[in-house]
Each structure stands twice: as structure tokens, then as C-alpha cells.
Structure 1
């Protein structure tokens, strides 16, 4: 399995990643569109979290996104709540470096994670949750083939208003078919 594109590569987290992750985790702008609870974390709490990820929960896979040209971490992408029996998982993505926002890194990382989840792990279904005000993320997920399955109405309070949490998922067969037809389109067939 190739864990890289021309511009980014994914690698597992290390204890050295705690400091940069701590910075992202405590930045309200970064967490505004992904974290249900905006909070301030102590460095010890972040180190403990990273240690749990590194020691490896069998129900999660967490990777740092590295921008290859600079070799700098720009975000985190994960499969969590992996249910091996039913071949399901949930994905989470955070682009922590604001300078990397809007440059397509999220699309590249999601494709790598979906390839890994569906083609290597043989998952049947990958789901996610997205806040209704995060229209850029919703467009990205739909472009990748995710479908809306439901919503938790007014489940999050942000910026002085209530917003829905949208539940989306993609099935392995749909992802594989979309990859196949996309490859044919690119080849002009």
C-alpha cells in the first residue's frame, strides 16, 4: 500500500508529534469545524492522548499528513471505531496547519485513507460526521462518493447558532466502482 501522493505522505504518529498536535488541538480556528467541544487541553493531556494512539488501540488507525516538499506535518487523518466483524469504520480528518487549508491536501489524504480502508483492510463501509456549516468539507465528501444518511438536528452550538451534524458514509462497492470509472475517464475510454 502506497501511503503517499506526489505532495503528501501519511505516517503513524510518534511521541515527538505531541507538541504540534497540541498546538492544533488548542487552536479554536482549527477545531471549529471538527471538534464537538472546543476546549483547552494541557500538554500532559495531549501527550497522554498521543501515547494511547501510538500504543495502538485495535479500533483505530491514526496518521500524520506530511507535506513532502517541506517535510512538515500539516494534519491528522484517522480511521476510528473500527469494527472488524462488520467491516465498518469512521474517519476523521483535521488539517491543522492553516497555511495548508484550501490546497487540496484533504482530498489527497482522504483518497489515501479510503484506498487503505477499502482496498487493504477490506472494509465494507466508512462513515463520518460533518457539521452542517462546513460546506467545503461536505462538497469534498460528496465528490469522493459519500452519501448523506441522516442528520442530528441542532446538535452543535457554534458562532451563536444551532447547527446540524450530518452523517455520511460510503460503501466499498461504490468507492471501487467510482475509482474504476474515474480511471477510465482519465484514460479517455
Structure 2
């Protein structure tokens, strides 16, 4: 899947080592909900299992010049209800706050609706993730609800906002 500045490529074993650095980066895990540190073996075992999971599709985000800058995917794909949860992170800090995440979201939503024939895509965003809220809203997602005090981070509870987009509401941000 290609957009103006990015290319999404199926996540493979060659990306596992690069992403280990990112999942152990506090700036990334602050927004993803994952715990760190994670050992290289734990990370490898996790991805070996997840790459076989039929309820998940994971892609690496590459710049047009071939630099791997992050990952995006659909998880918990419900093939009956035809919905899935979208997650995204830009691991390479030089590419944050520059619109790459929004381009990746748009590309994956198009894939979800056009190729996987999903009806709805949703995302969970921590209340303090203003960058994430902005990106999803830019891509046509709307707020559907709030999970009150749903996550515990840095010694306190935080709300999680659920945002979603339905196939017929999809619009292009390009």
C-alpha cells in the first residue's frame, strides 16, 4: 500500500530486530500500552506467534526512500462483525509530528475497507495522546466513547477514548 510519502509492507521477520528498539523506548510505550523492557527473545517469540494470527494484519511503515519508521496494523479482526482495532506508532523519532502516522492510518483504513471488506475500524487512544487523537480525527475517525480510568500509567489512572470510522463514512485526507 502506497501513499504520497509512505509505503506499507507486510511486517516480516526482518523487522523484528528494529522494532525491539522501539518497544523498549519509553516515548513509544507511553502511547502504545505495552510494557518495557522486553528482552530480544520475548519480542521474537511474540512476533513469531502473532505473524501466524489470522485475526491480525501488521505492516511496516517505510518512507518513500526506504527507511523503516514505524508499524501499523489491525488486531482483533472480527470476521463476522467485520471490524478491527487499528494501532499505529512511529518509532523513529525523526519522523514524528510530520504527518506520516496520518498517511499510514489512511492507507490502512483503505486496505481494511477495500481489500478486507471490513465494515468498521476503531482505535483506542490514551487521553494524554493529543498527537494520536489529532491523527485519527484527521483521517475521519469520530469519538464513540470513553473508557474511564482504564489504564494505569506513571502512578495514576487514565481514560481511553474509543474512536471509529465506518466504511460509508470513510474519506480521504490526501
- The structural deviation recorded for 1:160 is 4.4
The whole-number CA distance in structure 1 between the counterparts of 2:96 and 2:19 is: 16
The whole-number CA distance in structure 2 between the counterparts of 1:160 and 1:48 is: 29
Matches within 5 A, 1:46-125: 46-54=43-51, 56-69=52-65, 71-125=66-120
Structure 2 residue aligned with 1:40: 37
> Is the radius of gyration larger for structure 1 or structure 2?
1
Higher helix share: 1
TM-score, normalising length from structure 2? Answer: 0.93
Structure 2 residue aligned with 1:6: 4
| Aligned structure 1 segments of 4 or more residues deviating by more than 4 angstroms | none
What is the number of residues matched between the two proteins? 174
Instruction: Encode CA deviations 1:125-172: one digit per residue, 9 max, x unaligned.
Output: 111100011112112211211111111112223344432011111100
Asked if structure 1 preserves the Cα contact closer than 8 Å seen for 2:29 and 2:36, the reply is no
TM-score, normalising length from structure 1? Answer: 0.86
Asked if structure 2 preserves the Cα contact closer than 8 Å seen for 1:61 and 1:79, the reply is yes
Moved more, 98-107 or 157-166: 157-166
Asked if structure 2 preserves the Cα contact closer than 8 Å seen for 1:13 and 1:53, the reply is no
The whole-number CA distance in structure 2 between the counterparts of 1:160 and 1:8 is: 37
Asked if structure 1 preserves the Cα contact closer than 8 Å seen for 2:102 and 2:138, the reply is no
Structure 2 residue aligned with 1:157: 152
> Could you list the runs of 5+ residues in structure 1 that have no partner in the other structure?
184-189
